[in-house]
Structure 1
Amino acid sequence: MNRFSLFFRNFLACTFHRKLAYVLHFALPIVSFLAMFLLLRVGESAAFAGTQAIGLVIYFTMVQAVIVVSQILRDREQGIQRRINVSPASPAVYVAGNGAAALLVLSGQVLAFVGFVSFIFPVDSGLGFWPLLAILLIFNITAVGFGFLICAVADSSSGAIMAANVVVLFSSLMGGAFFPVEFMGYNLRRLAIAFPQYWVMKAIHQVQAGLPPAECGLSLLILLLFGLLFLVAQGVIRRRSTSLA
């Protein structure tokens, strides 16, 4: 437990060793939401503009998850991970400390964002404080799992961030984070369900429509399964990489 706490604090310190990180993780989602909302509000309803602006925040959440998790790759590049592997500390505890730090950073980001759009700049999007907070917190788990998967296949921290930008941009477009999937053709709509962004946006739409909690819960359960799938996949990839090394 002491080693986990040590790794956890170290990852947090590395994440915020530059003041710019506070802007990246806490101000950028809010500013991007405002810009997208005001742009869409010119010709659309507040509910539509608010929902699609949240999609942009979802995009940044996935990219920022990779940025935090990629500290593992930076440690490997600096030789720190090699020393950890030969120390009494378990590599699993090291990875768990990174994941917990990433979840805490993203949770703080979500809390700041939801508080802003609920109390400081209220948006009539049909979403209350608690439903939106719950949906985005659950999505954080998926985002962290995605971050671990990207870092498992990347050779460097910079490569992981570059790959994340490409993959997240494509999957956000296909998953309906930037515009509703109803605007797509039939085949593309069927393909959209393969991306986690589709399910988080679907959960948001279900809450807005006042559907029973069971239906919203199914979408959130699928989101959690995506996160589990990402974590299992990265574990398999890392194990194979270790055996080949």
Structure 2
Amino acid sequence: MNVLHIALHEIKLSLRDKRTFIFMMAFPVVLMLILGTALTNAFTSGATVEGLNLLVRNTASDARLTAAWSGFEQAIAKEGVVAKPIEEGMDGREAVQEDLYTAYAEIGDDGIRFYGSSKHTIESNILQGMLTTFADRYNLAAAAIKAAPSDAEAILGSAGAAGGIVRETTLDPDRKPNSVDYYAVVMTTMIGLYACMSASYLIRGERKRNTMTRLSASPVSKGEIFMGKVIGSSFINSMCVIVVFLFSKLAFQADWGDHYGIVLLILVTEVLLAVSLGLGVSYLFKENSAGAVMNVFVQIASFIGGAYFPLEVMGTSMRVVSELSPLRWANRGLMNVIYFDDWGAAWGAVGLNLAFAAAFLAVSVISMRRREAL
């Protein structure tokens, strides 16, 4: 019961400091909004290309080629490509040079001749890729006619089908965070790490308020006082993190995946790690230097842990250094379980948080036992 009373007292004491409590919730939300809005383009991997106009001269006499090309034109029209037949007496290459069309193609029984525009390289390459795919598919069908005519018909049919023009296979999944999703995660973990700053003041605050003597004279053991403070600080900081999590989910529609249990477990264990770290540092350093050490540590850990920009833009050496940041473990575990359903990385983050929390708590307990008071 003594532990519970001390934990409740610590929670009430934290709630009295309204400015700090509001800051802990408003600061990550504001950064989430600013960075998520300002860096939208940094998380966009695609671009919209418009105005693809293909001038076509079709002199093919093969009925299969003519039918396949007709289906191909219908398919690319659905993708925004306008294929226009060339007019009599018109020079297609000059039309491209004069920037009237994106590219010019001549379709004949002997193959396809393609002329792209040097002024619109990207657009020309897109059209060239489409035509190359069509030519390869048709050549495959022509070769299959000799052995299996039915298979050739299926190949020719798919050559003109919408969505079958270009098939892309990638090792990266389509689902990935946008700017708001990314900063919702990293700002939430960053504010969880801020718990180490208030935790470094848990014992020092009693000394500064001159209440250490009364605590030592009370019929409560040092262990109960210590555990009560750890539980109270961990609870109030976890509540701040959960509020930020819910706000980002409901207000910003941030994607936190479907595994909310493991997500919250990572966040809560990170808070426990931060509280343990703050307590350990308060025992290892002198009174006035512990807070400064924690302040510097939080800023460095946030910077190299990916709180302000994605780790993908870092060099190899910086990525190695980032492994020293607790935010790196938490962010990686959260991103992997949210977007890849990788439970291994998530449990790895939980394990690291608990292991280091236990280590710093052990340091705090050993240091506390060497003192007469807390």
Q: TM-score range by the shorter chain?
A: 0.7 to 0.9
Query: Aligned to 2:263, which of 124, 132, 138?
Result: 132
2:212 aligns with 81
Q: Residue type matched to 2:29 in 1?
A: I
State whether structure 2 residue 37 is matched by structure 1 residue 38.
Answer: yes
User: Alignment identity in percent?
Assistant: 20
Shift of 1:48: 4.3
Q: Is the 8 A contact 2:184 2:245 kept in 1?
A: no
Q: Higher relative contact order at CA 8 Å, sep ≥6: structure 1 or structure 2? A: 1
Rounded Cα–Cα distance in structure 2 between residues aligned with 1:218 and 1:68:
24
Q: Is the 8 A contact 1:59 1:169 kept in 2?
A: no
Rounded Cα–Cα distance in structure 1 between residues aligned with 2:221 and 2:20:
28
More helix by share: 1
Give the 4+ runs in structure 1 shifted more than 6 A. none
Structure 2 unaligned segments of length 5 or more: list them: 45-175
1:173 aligns with 303
Shift of 1:170: 1.1
Query: Aligned to 2:316, which of 172, 186, 190?
Result: 186
Q: Residue type matched to 1:74 in 2?
A: G
Shift of 1:206: 1.0
Q: Is the 8 A contact 1:172 1:197 kept in 2?
A: yes
TM-score by length of 1: 0.84
The secondary structure found in structure 1 opposite 2:17 is coil
Q: Is the 8 A contact 2:197 2:294 kept in 1?
A: yes
Instruction: Give the alignment of 1:1-245 within 5 angstroms.
Output: 1=1, 3-45=2-44, 47-49=177-179, 50-68=181-199, 70-123=201-254, 125=255, 127-128=257-258, 130=260, 131-156=262-287, 159-240=289-370, 242=371
TM-score by length of 2: 0.57
Rounded Cα–Cα distance in structure 2 between residues aligned with 1:15 and 1:57:
19
Shift in CA distance, 24/187, structure 1 to aligned 2, threshold 3 Å: same
Rounded Cα–Cα distance in structure 2 between residues aligned with 1:85 and 1:108:
29
Rounded Cα–Cα distance in structure 1 between residues aligned with 2:235 and 2:15:
12
Shift in CA distance, 196/170, structure 1 to aligned 2, threshold 3 Å: same
Q: Is the 8 A contact 2:259 2:337 kept in 1?
A: no
Rounded Cα–Cα distance in structure 1 between residues aligned with 2:322 and 2:367:
25
Shift in CA distance, 132/40, structure 1 to aligned 2, threshold 3 Å: farther
Q: Is the 8 A contact 1:172 1:178 kept in 2?
A: yes
Shift of 1:16: 1.8
More strand by share: 2
Q: Residue type matched to 1:170 in 2?
A: I
Structure 1 unaligned segments of length 5 or more: list them: none
**Aligned residue-pair number:** 240
Shift in CA distance, 171/8, structure 1 to aligned 2, threshold 3 Å: same
Shift of 1:83: 2.5
